[in-house]
Amino acid sequence: MKGPAIFLAQFAGDEAPFDTLGNITKWAGDLGYKGVQIPTWDARLFDLKRAAESQDYVDEIKGTCAAGGVEVTELSTHLQGQLVASHPAYDRLFDGFAPAGLRGNVDARTEWATEQLKLAAKASRRFGCTAHATFSGALLWHTVYPWPQRPAGLVEEGFAELARRWKPILDAFDENGVDVCYELHPGEDLHDGVTFERFLEAVGNHARANILYDPSHFVLQQLDYLAFIDIYHERIRAFHVKDAEFRPNGRSGVYGGYQGWVERPGRFRSLGDGQVDFTAIFSKLTQYGYAGWAVLEWECALKHPEQGAAEGAPFIARHMIRRADKAFDDFAGIATDRAFLRDVLGLNRG
DSSP string, 241-289: E-EEEE---SS--TTGGG--TTTSSEEEE-TTSSS--HHHHHHHHHHTT
Q: Backbone phi, then psi, for 236, in 5-degree steps? A: -80, 110
- What distances in angstroms separate CA 311 from CA 91, 278, 296, 297, 305, one per listed residue? 37, 15, 10, 12, 10
| 8-24 pLDDT per residue, tens | 999 999 999 999 999 99
What is the average pLDDT across 120-134?
Answer: 98
What is the average pLDDT across 285-301?
Answer: 97
DSSP string, 134-185: E---BSSGGGSS--SPPPTTHHHHHHHHHHHHHHHHHHHHHHTT-EEEEE--
| 42-95 pLDDT per residue, tens | 999 999 999 999 999 999 999 999 999 999 999 999 999 999 999 999 999 999
What is the average pLDDT across 323-345?
Answer: 84
CATH number of the domain enclosing 177: 3.20.20.150
What is the average pLDDT across 184-199?
Answer: 98
Q: What percent of the chain has pLDDT over 70?
A: 100
State the pLDDT confidence band at 331, using cuts at 50, 70 and 90.
confident
The count of structural domains within the chain is 1
Please indicate, yes or no, if residue 255 is contained in any of the structural domains.
yes
- What distances in angstroms separate CA 26 from CA 8, 19, 70, 166, 314, one per listed residue? 12, 12, 8, 36, 17
Q: What percent of the chain has pLDDT over 90?
A: 92
pLDDT higher than threshold 70 for residue 350: no
Please indicate, yes or no, if residue 211 is contained in any of the structural domains.
yes
| 138-173 pLDDT per residue, tens | 999 999 999 999 999 999 999 999 999 999 999 999
Structural domain that includes position 288: 2-344
Identity at 132, one-letter amino acid code: H
What is the spatial distance between Cα 72 and Cα 204, in angstroms, rounded to a whole number? 30
Please indicate, yes or no, if residue 349 is contained in any of the structural domains.
no
What is the spatial distance between Cα 109 and Cα 287, in angstroms, rounded to a whole number? 42
| 91-119 pLDDT per residue, tens | 999 999 999 999 999 999 999 999 999 99
pLDDT, position 2: 98
- Rounded mean pLDDT of the chain? 96
Please indicate, yes or no, if residue 109 is contained in any of the structural domains.
yes
Please indicate, yes or no, if residue 113 is contained in any of the structural domains.
yes
Please indicate, yes or no, if residue 350 is contained in any of the structural domains.
no
The CB density around residue 88, as the number of other CB atoms within 10 Å, is 9
